[in-house]
Copies of this chain bind each other. A is one copy, B any other.
Amino acid sequence: MDLKSYIVELNAKIESTLDKLLPPKTQYPGMLYDSMRYSLFAGGKRLRPVLTLATVEALGGNLEAALPVAATLEMIHTYSLIHDDLPCMDDDDLRRGQPTNHKVYGEATALLAGDALLTHAFQVLGTVQTGITSDIMLRIVGELAKAAGAVGMVAGQMADMENEGKQANAETLAFIHANKTGALLTASVRIGALFAGASEEQLQALTTYAQRIGLAFQIQDDILDVVGETAKLGKAVGADAAHAKSTYPVLYGLEESRDMVRRLTDEAHQALQASDLAAVRLHEIADWLVSRDN
């Protein structure tokens, strides 16, 4: 099976799991559950749960049993998108071509749907029976909360906001990327590793893998922004760069950024090879993330 079919197959499992884990639309107050489901089932690559499940598989763990745990990563990611789109944040009307949550349900409901999705992730982890020990599940709770919270994703979001319209330096840019997107991507892999009983050495290797692809993914995003803009606006990259918000191409130039993506992806592959894992899908995902053109 090629990677694309593999991801399609996993996504079907992930969506059916999410459907079972959420309160039904018919339960009172239904609009809250409608609103949670609207954003949760709005499509997307489901990269985070896919990473969790591919990691479980690489370690010979039980993929089916891991589904509810993997689904919590998508709940957290979706809550962050709903809150990011709110008028007081990025004020976006559209996401993937569809009206954002607050455009459909109103700001108050969107705020509550985000709060509820965030909380629901921990309700699932605290109550689901998956066959792993409470020691490990509790460690997963800590991993997820740390990656999502005050010293993870929310810190990255805050730093990004504080640096809007400013020319952030390399250190600040690295902090934003490592936290705003990197922390949850890394947690996706680490949680799969913990679930499947990885050794500390394997966990370290997988953490390196995840950190490298997380940053490569983000730099690739930055590159696509620049390349896309150049094509669209028909003007030189350098001219944009002077006014654009801080990105890797702005700070390091386009060629050096492309080199960084290549180096990071190589390091991700090396980390997997050194740890002696049957991690074909993880290798494929690393290549896919940086070869995509959207």
Contacts and interface: CB of A to CB of B under 8 A. Distances in A.
User: Quick one: which of A87, A154, A155 has the most chain B CB within 10 A?
Assistant: A154
Contacts of A157: 112
Interface stretch (A130-138, A226-234, A274-282): A130-138
Contacts of A23: 150-151
Contact of A145 (B126, B143, B155): B126
**Residue of A114, A119, A126, A137 contacting most chain B CB atoms (<10 Å):** A119
A140 B123 CA distance: 10
Given A89-B111, A159-B28, A122 B150 contact: no
Interface in A143-200: 143-146, 148-151, 154-155, 157-159, 161-162, 175
Copies, count: 2
A88 B105 CA distance: 12
A155 B88 contact: no
Interface string A21-47: 011000111011100100000000000
Contacts of A213: none
Contact of A83 (B36, B111, B141): B111
B108 A111 contact: no
22 contacts: A28-B155, A29-B155, A29-B158, A31-B158, A32-B155, A108-B161, A109-B158, A111-B111, A112-B158, A115-B115, A115-B154, A116-B149, A116-B150, A118-B118, A120-B149, A122-B122, A122-B144, A125-B138, A126-B138, A126-B143, A134-B135, A141-B141
